[in-house]
Amino acid sequence: MDNNVAAIEFKSISRGMLVTDEILKASRVRLILATSLCPGKYLTVVGGDVAAVEKSVNVADRLGGRHVYSSFVISGIGEEVMDALSGKYVPEINDSIAIIESQNMANIINAADISIDSAKVDIVELRLGKGCGVNSFYIITGKLEAVKEAAANSAEFLRDQGSLLAYKIIANPERDLLRWLQPSKCAC
């Protein structure tokens, strides 16, 4: 499987659906995610070889015009991030956690991949802004030093993109807090 994705966030649900249809007709990509978001946005994530996902972004930019809020090609994305996007992977909570927030969904996917590539951490949850207002976030877990390194590297990327809202690290989180992480997992 090619681990390259294009994430396109639209300001209009109807334009997002229309352009997603055109992307699928024009490019040899697989649809990973296509969903409406709050408030009135639409997110499309497609995967395939680099040329195909780049073509998807070009089609989106051309046909979506001013309705494209953000678009991003991420090449060589880790399997763990791909699994987190589709809700397949849920590791055990380790020594520490970090929560990284952004209002830009394409950037948060890239930041999650940066975290995984930076240090030995696992993604606990990757939640895009659907049903959660405009913020997207992910939670990583691992040994404290690894969590600090991964969070700092992804926060630097998000800061450079102008889309970092916040990031916090919790060393040795209380078990009661961890108990509530499990029920928080949802499709939103």
CATH code at 153? 3.30.70.1710
Question: Are 169 and 136 in the same domain?
Answer: yes
Question: Are 43 and 70 in the same domain?
Answer: yes
Q: Is the CB of residue 83 less than 8 Å from the CB of residue 118?
A: no
| Domain-located, residue 83 | no
| Domain-located, residue 82 | no
Question: Are 147 and 64 in the same domain?
Answer: no
Question: Are 99 and 136 in the same domain?
Answer: yes
Check: pTM over 0.85? Answer yes or no: no
The domain in which residue 45 lies consists of: 5-74
User: Pairing state of beta strands 121-127 and 136-142?
Assistant: antiparallel
Residues 29-84: pLDDT tens digits?
989 888 887 678 888 989 999 999 999 999 999 999 999 988 888 888 888 887 77
Q: Is the CB of residue 163 less than 8 Å from the CB of residue 135?
A: no
Of residues 53, 27, 32, the one with CA closest to residue 44: 32
| Domain-located, residue 19 | yes
Q: Is the CB of residue 112 less than 8 Å from the CB of residue 65?
A: no
What backbone torsions phi and psi does residue 105 show, to the nearest 5 degrees?
Answer: -70, -40
**Token pair for 147:** 């969590």
Q: How far apart are CA 75 and CA 5, in angstroms?
A: 7
Give the pLDDT mean for 156-176. 91
Residues 49-58: pLDDT tens digits?
999 999 999 9
